Structure 1
């Protein structure tokens, strides 16, 4: 069977969470958690690249009425998320569906109030990233929220230790998971090209990680003469 695109994280599913905590402590989880208060009380939410399901559990305990599509390209990650969901023992007001695939698995008519990209966008080289973000933008309702948590160094150029850590990370995941990117993307340029405006930002892990809320405003309506 041919390998699904972007499915290389299946190879690291059994130890990815432990490795992330070993290197970054709780910073990656803190960055994602900082975005949860921005979720509307009721919303259609796309989580793409959510991995083994930690974020899904956090969405369930918000007490909000969310219709969640959990989309992941790595079969082993999706299986782990489904297992965590089945084992979740608390009452919640969310409806959850799981889907295997990339952004290409989204249906043309599907629209979301919130798109959550947790440590996903750093994995792709510029051309692939532009296509990915363009497709996600098309699936986001106007005035919808893009919740972004990822490696985005505040200081530019980044300090030496952040550059070295990034090189090591890209080398490791390039060899193990087939990641094509070699450096952190120019996220700001991509978001600006799509018309998004930043509404919130907070830095973690000494400025190497950022959590951001971005929104594309409604197009202006010309006034009648």
Structure 2
């Protein structure tokens, strides 16, 4: 039986962060860190797919949230996040996917760090619609992911993307095979881009979207 594509990162949890640093240096962390100033004090935050917990630590250190739900499909990644340090009572660790969000829940901030690239179009659309539903009007969706700035990316970016999909497809049963058309999904939901920045020679982008 194949792994659930939303939870296959158990196999790579122990070395994922090291591998990311070896390939990308500090670029992935820089891209996530760039989003932090957009989080207002007293926000209710959903971090989905945050992995081993580095981003959660940054959020707690640099911002003053009211409540944080840390939703992670990989049980081993979630365990690593919980083992990082002692966390305040405002943090709720939750094992699962968007299907584990409650209908009544609402968030001021949703953060999807290097998550949306994992899915094929149909699953991505389902995921993004569910996240949109729990984002409060006026709330911000903080996005960071592999999204080449150029419409026709250079060969090295194409090769790197294919290599990543092959590697994580074999080890983690990632279902995606190419970088999605994120913009089309955000536009379809009516989310408005507010700010953006690019990293790693334009291969990684961070964006701030607002729900009108």
The runs of at least 4 aligned residues of structure 1 exceeding 6 Å deviation read: none
Q: Deviations over 1:44-98 (max 9, x none)?
A: 0000000000001101111413310000000000000011132x6xxx7x71000
Which of 120, 123, 135 is residue 125 of structure 1 equivalent to? 120
Aligned to 2:11: 11
Q: Deviations over 1:157-204 (max 9, x none)?
A: 111000000000000000000001000000000000000010000000
Provide the rounded CA distance (Å) in 1 between the counterparts of 2:81 and 2:32.
16
Answer yes or no: is 1:102 the counterpart of 2:102: no
Q: Retained in 1: the 8 A contact 2:5–2:174? A: no
Judged with a 3 Å threshold, the aligned counterparts in structure 2 of structure 1 residues 103 and 215 are, in CA distance, closer, same or farther, namely same
TM-score by length of 2: 0.97
Q: Retained in 1: the 8 A contact 2:98–2:131? A: yes
Q: Indicate the structure (1 or 2) with the bigger Cα radius of gyration.
A: 1
Answer yes or no: is 1:153 the counterpart of 2:148: yes
Matched residues, number? 212
Q: Which runs of 5+ in 1 are unaligned?
A: 218-225
What is the Cα-based RMSD across aligned positions, in Å? 1.5
Aligned to 1:222: none
Answer yes or no: is 1:27 the counterpart of 2:27: yes
Q: Retained in 2: the 8 A contact 1:4–1:101? A: no
TM-score by length of 1: 0.91
Task: State how 1:1-225 maps to structure 2 within 5 Å.
Answer: 6-86=6-86, 95-217=90-212
Q: Which runs of 5+ in 2 are unaligned?
A: none
